[in-house]
Amino acid sequence: MFEFAWPWMLALLPLPILAWWWLPPYRARQASVQIPFFDRLAAATGQTPQRGAVVLERRRVQMIVAILIWTLIIAALARPQWVGEAITREVSARDLILAIDISGSMEQRDFRTADGATLTRLDGVKRVIKDFIARRRGDRVALILFGTKAYVQVPFTQDLQTAAQLLEQTQVGMAGQQTAIGDTIGLAIKTLEGSRAKQKLLILLTDGNDTASRVPPEHAADIARQKDVAVYTIGVGDPAASGENRVDLGVLQSVAATTGGRFFRAEDGAQLQAIYADIDRLAPAKLDALSWRPKLPLFQWPLGAAVVLGLALWLGLWLTGERERKGALRHA
């Protein structure tokens, strides 16, 4: 479909006519010599005197070409364009953060995979999360790693392959040996502050209890609730263990309940995969429909035609003037 992006520019079309009516004609004074016997000189040479004020006559072709050039320039200013058929695309309206515990206890080798192999907790989690990330088509995903400190390993991105690669490079102890659950939730809230997504989701996976946070997890969870951030917590540690190796199921359950999320318990790869499937079911991605029409600009065609016409007119007038000048010289 053809249309003008700025159709109001067409209102400038009558501007030359208004200028013709309202503006005074151009006047120029030329130096001259007064001769007392001018009439006798004119009679002797056989010439007829003309009036002092002379209005130069324009050729008809000049007026026609000038009108065409002005029309083409205004048409170019109105930005003609070809608008294609509407294209609709559904995109996710969800921002999702994966917060992964990489404290010292994640090096313990007791994580059973679906094929019966035994891996360290972190390696087993990596394997399952890698598949989970690959299914986040359309989501913006961020990755937070935490131990004694929490930091953003991957800011929000739809480049899922890069996020998976950076997760694969993660090693136990990179963020310290202790566990800071409350600070991790706080960092996730701060990361989501600039988000305009309709759905904000934090998946927090840990195998320990909070031993290093400056902000208690319960307080951080209350702030997350106020910011409409749902927290899904996953405990992969042993609640019967002591010290840092013991997972505090009560805190994880409280955090999830406060924010409207869910708590899950995972002991092996099969359970963890089932948990991620449940999260997909409990928190389905919200989609926004984006619709637009491709637009092909066409202003260069009338503008180019105006330039060509102007050059052609100039060349034609120059050639005509040259012929007239040479004819006058021959007659002289």
Degrees to nearest 5, angle at CA 315 with 311 and 316: 115
CATH 3.40.50.410 fits 89-290, yes or no: yes
Q: For 109-150, write each residue's pLDDT tens digit.
A: 877 777 777 888 888 888 888 888 888 777 888 999 999 999
DSSP H or E run through 123: helix 121-134
Instruction: Kindly report, residue by residue over 85-100, the tens digit of the pLDDT.
Output: 877 665 556 788 999 9
Helix orientation angle between 15-22 and 60-77, rounded to the nearest 10 degrees? 130
What is the number of other CB atoms lying within 10 angstroms of the CB of residue 64?
12
Q: What residues does each domain of the chain span?
A: 2-85+294-331, 89-290
Looking at every residue in the chain, the average pLDDT score rounds to 83
Task: Summarize pLDDT for 253-299 with one digit per residue, the tens.
Answer: 999 999 998 888 887 677 788 887 777 776 655 555 556 778 889 99
Residue 5 DSSP class: S
